[in-house]
A and B are shown apart, each in its own frame.
Chain A
């Protein structure tokens, strides 16, 4: 008798815990839906970079700053979400397509260049920004004025990035290229004169040069070595959202918030931005 009682109690306990976890599970699913249902009380999940000053940066106190963050906030507002309803999620470059197609995020604003390969898996809205591959050098360095100068220089970029590949294959195959895990590591080398220049999109470089601790140490050379049209990535085939985001971007440029966001986040580096690009996607 005793045994069967214990067994019954155990069975009840197991059943209870199962239902409890089932409840928790389904609740969690609803919350991580990426705000697909779009109701006023729901949250919207937006993918940004967490490690790019000036564009998308998570500060030590848990806040988010940068141009991409401002764009994301503006677009979300136009879609009917207040700033406190936005949940930012880190979108590492290699994971962006998966985050979108799995529905983990509603859209991604993360220095996401529009190209045909990416369009096979996701759709874009925008572009909302035109950047060029450029060089960051020490403020007193005047030895680099054109792309050919790079063949005799030591360059630094991030492992596997489009900019690094562009240097290796097209721009300056003879340049001594160091590939590091992140741009901060490159800055260490640049400051210690182990490398002569750091290369990637000028918007990202401007973000680093504009950081408080780097002010006055570095400058942009101003070479336009490529065109990078940043778009907002979203689920393939979601025409409705694409149209809405395009409208929001247009409005952001027209009412001046776009220029204000650029000046605030990238301005201190003495960076001359391109005017807001024409929207080309999904028209």
Chain B
């Protein structure tokens, strides 16, 4: 039943490695972009607050497929912005990371903002009274506590991101979902076996993430 795996025709591990790379790059990128967005949303400058709110609500409610195809058709093929990629393989990967960061950053931002709300107002007021600037209050007092409160929600975002990387197949990034499409085209007699292999692959990627970060969340949570 699983003999198509032995034919040597399909590089399943290679495809999942691309999935892992996509996830890691996008996770780092969206953590940074999400933190910046959260900072904007709680900042005292109305213009930044407005931009943050508008961006989050616009991008969060746009389907990811639309964003990624928009990156490929709009940015790359129509405007010729290839992010320094020489071949379609490089360009596609970078565009996919861009799309995933733009999208996942909004969820990181909102998770983080809920974490900021768990920090008692008195702490920020005390820090202000000591003469710290807004930036110092945010980075030294509020964010470190906020991050420790939202490890579990961020783990959910990371797991969702892992699965969302499959959308990159629509612009030709050779990750797991693209290989699955190829295999379904060739091995139609074993549709369920192919499906099972990829379902298992994603469980193997996401389950340990959830368990590990769940444990971390318990360890670092600020007990109030």
Please list 5 pairs of residues, one from A and one from B, whose beta carbons are closer than 8 Å in the complex, sorted by A's number: A94-B181, A162-B185, A165-B186, A178-B88, A195-B77
Cβ–Cβ contact B188 & A159, under 8 A:
no
Is A97 interfacial (CB 8 A cutoff)?
yes
Q: Interface size of A by Cβ–Cβ distance < 8 Å? A: 28
Say if the beta carbon of A179 comes within 8 Å of chain B. Answer: yes
The verdict on B21 contacting chain A, using a C-beta distance below 8 Å, is no
B-side contacts of A117, CB under 8 Å: 186-189
Task: Tell me the nearest residue of chain A to B171, going by C-beta.
Answer: A180
Please, which residue of chain A has its CB at the minimum distance from the CB of B73? A188
Q: Which B155-186 residues have a C-beta within 8 angstroms of A?
A: 169-172, 174, 178, 180-182, 184-186
A39 is an interface residue with CB less than 8 A from chain B? no
User: Which B residues are CB-close (under 8 A) to A161?
Assistant: 185
Counting CB contacts under 8 A, is A176 at the interface?
yes
**Bound: A181/B168 CA distance, A:** 10
Q: Which residue of A lies closest to B179 (CB)?
A: A160
Q: Other CB < 8 Å A-B pairs besides A118-B188, A188-B78, 16 of them?
A: A94-B185, A97-B188, A117-B188, A117-B189, A120-B189, A159-B170, A160-B185, A161-B185, A165-B182, A176-B87, A177-B172, A178-B88, A178-B92, A180-B72, A180-B170, A194-B76
Query: Which residues from 72 to 100 on chain B have a C-beta closer than 8 Å to any C-beta of chain A?
Result: 72-73, 76-78, 80, 87-89, 92
Complex Cα distance, B92 from A135, in Å, reads 22
Knowing A178-B92, A180-B170 touch, does A160 contact B73 (C-beta < 8 A)? Answer: no
Mask for A163-180, Cβ within 8 A of B = 1, else 0?
Answer: 011000000000011111
> Chain A interface (Cβ within 8 Å of chain B)?
93-94, 96-98, 117-118, 120-121, 154, 159-162, 164-165, 176-181, 185, 188-189, 192, 194-195
Q: A94-B191, A98-B191, A117-B188 known; A159 and B169 CB under 8 Å?
A: yes
CB proximity of A258 to chain B, nearest CB, Å: 28
6 smallest beta-carbon distances between A and B, as pairs? A160-B181, A179-B172, A194-B77, A178-B88, A160-B182, A94-B184
Q: Which residues of the other chain, B, contact A118 by a CB distance below 8 angstroms?
A: 188-189
- Which residues of B have CB within 8 Å of A154? 88
CB distance from A190 to the nearest CB of B (A): 9
Number of A-B residue pairs with CB-CB distance less than 8 Å in the complex they form: 73
Contact indicator B182/A177 (Cβ below 8 Å): no
Number of interface residues of B (CB under 8 A): 27
CA distance A22 to B187 in the complex (A): 37
- Residues of B within 8 Å of A192, CB to CB, are 77-78
Asked, given contacts A94-B185, A118-B188, whether A181 binds B170 with beta carbons under 8 Å apart, the answer is yes
- Identify the closest chain B residue to A184 (Cβ): B73
Give the contacting residue for A194; candidates B80, B170, B178; CB below 8 A. Answer: B80
At the interface, yes or no: B213 with Cβ under 8 Å from chain A? no
Is B69 in the interface zone, CB < 8 Å from A? yes
A123 shortest CB reach to chain B, Å = 13
Query: Given A160, A176, A177, A189, which contacts B77 in the complex, CB threshold below 8 Å?
Result: A189
Chain A: CB-nearest residue to B191: A98
Complex alpha-carbon distance, A264 and B72, angstroms: 35
Q: B69, A181: Cβ atoms under 8 Å?
A: yes
- Residue in B69, B78, B171, B172 whose Cβ sees the most chain A Cβ within 10 Å: B172
Residues of the A chain whose Cβ atoms lie less than 8 Å from the Cβ of B188: 94, 96-97, 117-118, 121
Closest Cβ of chain A to B158, distance in Å, is 26
Q: Which residues of B have CB within 8 Å of A178?
A: 88, 92, 172
B-side contacts of A177, CB under 8 Å? 88, 172
Considering the complex, which residues of chain B in the window 105-158 have a beta carbon less than 8 Å from any beta carbon of chain A? none
- Name the B residues within 8 Å of A195 (CB-CB): 77
Q: How far is the CA of A192 from the CA of B75 in the complex (A)?
A: 12
Residues of A within 8 A of B80 (CB): 194
**A98, A161, A179, A180: residue with the most chain B Cβ atoms closer than 10 Å:** A179
Whole-angstrom distance from the CB of A200 to the nearest CB of chain B?
12
